């Protein structure tokens, strides 16, 4: 549906992420000669960048679309009686499919360039599951609140921009000023992004304890979001 009017159709779902990976991996490593501290490989920073941005992209797509899913499908909710939780489930499935396409391309790149981390690669599965649970819990909670308080959606888009730069995605945490580092414990995504970068750049197992903030908040927000949804489902249709 997204590419139904385009000449190349579904091929854009491959070409877009492929172009992004080329920019990040080739331009940053070969043109800008960006380097990471303690990483000698010329493409170390490019892999670091892709690992962070692709993971952040999955989080932001799920959370952003979920917080707007009920308002965006207002007409559908008013006209058809169906299990409304199908909507956030569709958002997650669609985001995971997009992520699978782009991350598969990135994985092929790692294999071709000899940078594939080996068996530790599969540690990404529990890391991403933690992040998806956090994203959907946050998205559903904000999605219900956004129906009654429309400023929530606009405010979240602003917060998301600050959140991106407060998370060590395009820079290593080691370059942060000492007074900033203690505040990183309040950023649940810092541990998730660091885990992905550790797996893909260093090829070692991540610090599992670093996932606890995202896991705890994910469970809490999923419980809160589903409770709010069950309690206000009928009021939401009237409000829409």
Give pLDDT, residue 230. Answer: 82
The candidate with the shortest Cα–Cα distance to 50, out of 137, 113, 134, is 113
Is the pLDDT at 34 greater than 70, yes or no? no
In terms of average pLDDT, the best of 10-14, 23-27, 51-55 is 51-55
Between CA 43 and CA 24 the distance in angstroms is 10
How many alpha carbons fall within 13 Å on the CB side of residue 174? 4
Compute φ and ψ for 4, nearest 5 degrees.
-65, -25
The predicted-structure confidence for 96-132, as pLDDT tens digits, reads as follows 988 898 888 889 888 988 889 989 999 999 999 999 9
Between CA 35 and CA 45 the distance in angstroms is 5
Mean pLDDT over each residue of the chain, to the nearest integer: 83
Mean pLDDT confidence for 216-232: 89
Is the pLDDT at 180 greater than 90, yes or no? no
**DSSP per residue over 120-167, as a string?**
GGGGHHHHHHHHHHHHHHHHHHHHHHHHH-THHHHHHHHHHHHHHHHS
């Amino acid at each position: 549906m997204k590419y139904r009017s385009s000449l190349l159709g579904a091929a854009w779902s491959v070409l877009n992420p492929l172009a992004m990976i080329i920019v990040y991996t080739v331009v940053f490593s070969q043109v800008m000669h960006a380097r990471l501290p303690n990483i000698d490989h010329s493409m170390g920073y490019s892999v670091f960048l892709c690992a962070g941005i692709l993971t952040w992209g999955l989080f932001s797509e799920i959370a952003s679309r979920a917080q707007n899913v009920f308002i965006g499908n207002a007409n559908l909710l008013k006209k058809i009686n169906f299990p409304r939780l199908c909507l956030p489930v569709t958002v997650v499935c669609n985001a995971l499919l997009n992520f699978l396409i782009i991350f598969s391309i990135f994985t092929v790149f790692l294999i071709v360039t000899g940078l594939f981390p080996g068996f530790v690669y599969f540690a990404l599965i529990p890391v991403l599951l933690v992040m998806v649970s956090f994203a959907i819990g946050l998205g559903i909670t904000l999605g219900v609140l956004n129906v009654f308080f429309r400023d929530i959606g606009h405010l979240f888009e602003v917060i998301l921009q600050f959140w991106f730069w407060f998370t060590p995605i395009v820079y290593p945490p080691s370059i942060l000023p000492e007074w900033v580092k203690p505040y990183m414990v309040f950023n649940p995504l810092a541990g998730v992004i660091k885990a992905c970068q550790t797996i893909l750049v260093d090829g070692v197992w991540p610090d599992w304890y670093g996932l606890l903030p995202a896991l705890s908040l994910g469970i809490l927000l999923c419980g809160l979001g589903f409770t709010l949804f069950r309690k206000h489902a009928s009021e939401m249709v009237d409000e829409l």
